[in-house]
């Protein structure tokens, strides 16, 4: 599979590889990690540090795996299973958009039925000890009060919230358009991490959040990705001059931190 074929396949699978130019650049790499995200259970550890040659083989394995060819672990290494998969997967065949790993289910939002294809992460910008000892349910009611009474919105702006102890509860229903990222709310789910006060956009996840929150966020992203074709996981700070969610999301997604 040539780099061009990998780019084309990544695009057909709903991940943005940048221009289809046959050059293995940052956008293609980022699209690969986005696909890895969906396939995470199959990725051998350490992918973020693999050299380019191994990443390219892994890209080929990931594309084949996402399109239903069973080749075991995605490890970027040549082997009999990869060779057998390659033989059964004629490389430059047309790529059908419906061959996505979430088996066709889509979350739709609002009256227009915008398909959900993105998740944007946020923080509550609360101090580590904010409402300590109170259940996430009560913390959500407090944030809902800010959004409804102070901002005048009809409901809390986020779809999901992740508590300090790793508990996860819904906010606004997923089928309603949220209020969390200006100009990009349609077709996007907002997840809010409790914490993040005093953070900067370049900080690391662990500077402001607890391991239980990271594990819960991982599970939640995987669980949503199984129900709708998520092409991008973003941070609010990628679309606005804000610290929110208080860490560098690309680095966190690639687990380079």
Judged by the rule CB under 5 A, the positions of this chain that interact with Zn ion are: 122, 236, 244
Decide if 192 is catalytic: no
Q: DSSP 3-state assignment of 30?
A: helix
Q: Which is nearer to Zn ion, 47 or 249 (CB)?
A: 249
Among 11, 15, 37, 122, which one carries the catalytic annotation? 122
Decide if 114 is catalytic: no
Strands laid side by side in the 188-193 sheet: 168-170, 160-162, 188-193, 118-123, 232-235
Q: Which is nearer to Zn ion, 44 or 148 (CB)?
A: 148
* Cα(150)–Cα(124) distance, integer angstroms: 15
Q: How far is the CB of 112 from Zn ion (least distance, A)?
A: 24
Q: How far is the CB of 244 from Zn ion (least distance, A)?
A: 3
Among 147, 158, 208, 209, which one carries the catalytic annotation? 158
Q: Where are the beta strands (DSSP E) in 25-157?
A: 108-109, 114-115, 118-123
* Cα(15)–Cα(225) distance, integer angstroms: 12
Among 15, 159, 208, 236, which one carries the catalytic annotation? 236
Q: How far is the CB of 29 from Zn ion (least distance, A)?
A: 26
Residue 206 is encoded by which pair of tokens? 């662990």
Q: How far is the CB of 156 from Zn ion (least distance, A)?
A: 13
Q: How far is the CB of 157 from Zn ion (least distance, A)?
A: 9
* Cα(6)–Cα(257) distance, integer angstroms: 26
Number of H helices, E strands in the chain: 8, 7
Peptide bond into 245 cis (omega under 30): yes
Decide if 158 is catalytic: yes
Q: Which is nearer to Zn ion, 11 or 122 (CB)?
A: 122
Decide if 242 is catalytic: yes
Q: DSSP 3-state assignment of 178?
A: coil
Q: Which is nearer to Zn ion, 185 or 225 (CB)?
A: 185
Q: Which is nearer to Zn ion, 15 or 236 (CB)?
A: 236
Burial label, 239 (beta-carbon count in 10 A; 0-12, 13-18, 19+): middle
Among 102, 114, 197, 242, which one carries the catalytic annotation? 242
Decide if 147 is catalytic: no
For residue 193, give the nearest of 154, 173, 221, 166 by alpha carbon.
166
Active-site residue list: 122, 158, 236, 242, 244
């Amino acid at each position: 599979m040539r780099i061009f074929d990998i780019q084309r396949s990544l695009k057909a699978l709903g991940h943005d590889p940048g221009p289809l130019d046959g050059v293995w650049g940052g956008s293609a790499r980022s699209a690969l990690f986005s696909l890895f995200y969906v396939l995470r259970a199959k990725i051998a550890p350490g992918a973020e540090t693999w050299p380019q040659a191994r990443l390219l083989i892994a890209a080929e394995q990931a594309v084949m795996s996402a399109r239903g060819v069973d080749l075991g672990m995605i490890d970027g290494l040549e082997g009999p299973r990869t060779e057998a998969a390659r033989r059964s997967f004629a490389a430059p065949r047309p790529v059908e958009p419906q061959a996505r790993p979430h088996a066709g289910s889509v979350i739709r939002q609002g009256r227009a039925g915008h398909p959900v294809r993105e998740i944007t992460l946020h923080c509550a910008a609360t101090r580590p000890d904010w409402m300590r000892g109170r259940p996430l349910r009560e913390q959500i009611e407090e944030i809902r009060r800010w959004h409804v009474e102070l901002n005048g919105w009809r409901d809390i702006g986020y779809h999901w919230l992740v508590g300090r102890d790793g508990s996860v509860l819904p906010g606004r229903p997923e089928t309603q358009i949220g209020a969390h990222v200006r100009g990009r709310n349609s077709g996007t789910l907002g997840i809010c991490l409790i914490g993040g006060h005093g953070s900067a956009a370049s900080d690391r996840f662990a500077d402001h959040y607890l391991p239980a929150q990271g594990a819960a966020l991982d599970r939640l992203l995987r669980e949503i990705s199984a129900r709708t074709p998520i092409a991008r996981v973003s941070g609010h700070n990628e679309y606005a001059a804000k610290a929110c969610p208080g860490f560098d999301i690309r680095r966190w997604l690639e687990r380079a931190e």
